[in-house]
Amino acid sequence: MAALDPRDVEVAEDELILDADLFTEPEGFRPPTPTGEDIVFERKAENVQQGSPATLQLHLVGKHSLWAHRLWNAGVVLAHQMDADKATCKGKRVLELGAAASVPSMIAVLNGAEKVVITDWPDPGLVKNIIFNAEVNTPQQMRDGVISVQGFQWGNDPSDLLSALPDASRKFDVVILADLIFNHTEHRHLLETCLATLEPATGVAYVYFSHHVVKWADRDLRFFELAAEMGFRSEKTGEVRASAMFPDDVGDLTVRETVHCYKVWLP
């Protein structure tokens, strides 16, 4: 039996007589739709090149089920480290997954990356917001085609990501995963995308994260166990203390405030 399509159902006009006030919500019944907020990311003075902006003017989307309305500590920490060590991205091909505010990508652009592909879940609102922030903070690079913004679901065919590169001489030199691995069911999909997009031997994926739920810290770290099974190597490069993203949550505050810094690569 063929599936029913509601567009194919015909209803007589006399069946549509309803009380005009039936669906009228009382005032204050529903909170207003979140409109987002504007924030400023301040670069450290010693990292700002002459003629380069000292701040990024960012718009965050309204409250979102994928947490894109937050400026995550891991992205901030990675952005500052990339800004300090400009060789991380200068002349490099950079891909960011689950970018949201996309601060690391913006810093990569300002520090001379050859190409930066910024991605998030293929929600038009998320993608448009990334484009807006890129046009505000890096307008010349947007016009020059240095930046490509795409909706992308982890684990899917990465052909569009790779086709955004200037040529096929190599894949991405840098892949950014900032505060993504708390999505435990997505570990394999994230790694599949890294496997398909990261240049072997020379490419590096930067995996920065916090244990937001202390009791699930071991689940976070299983990402690296799976990475090893899939042929990656990984190394912890440091820790940085930040303010807890969710200060009122349960669990050791020190654990929740710590950003763990890893690099992952294909030998």
- Angle at which helices 103-110 and 73-84 cross, to 10°: 10
Predicted TM-score (pTM) of the model is 0.85
| Residue owning tokens 């912890």 | 236
3-state DSSP call for residue 208?
strand
The per-residue pLDDT for 46 is 97
pLDDT in tens, 90-142: 999 999 999 999 999 999 999 999 999 999 999 998 899 999 999 999 999 99
Task: Tell me the C-alpha to C-alpha distance, in Å, between residue 214 and each of 11, 181, 253.
Answer: 54, 14, 9
- As beta bridge partners, residue 233 has 265
Burial of 24 (0-12, 13-18, 19+ CB in 10 A): exposed
Q: Which helix (H) or strand (E) holds 119?
A: strand 115-120
Task: Give me 200's structure tokens.
Answer: 């072997």
User: What whole-number distance in Å separates Cα of residue 267 and Cα of residue 264?
Assistant: 10
The per-residue pLDDT for 35 is 67
CB 204 within 8 A of CB 124: no
The per-residue pLDDT for 66 is 52
pLDDT tens string for the chain (267 positions)?
Answer: 443 333 333 433 433 333 444 344 455 544 444 467 899 999 999 999 999 999 999 999 866 545 556 788 999 999 999 999 999 999 999 999 999 999 999 999 999 999 999 999 999 988 999 999 999 999 999 999 999 999 999 999 999 999 999 999 999 999 999 999 999 999 999 999 999 999 999 999 999 999 999 999 999 999 999 999 999 999 999 999 998 877 778 888 889 999 999 999 999
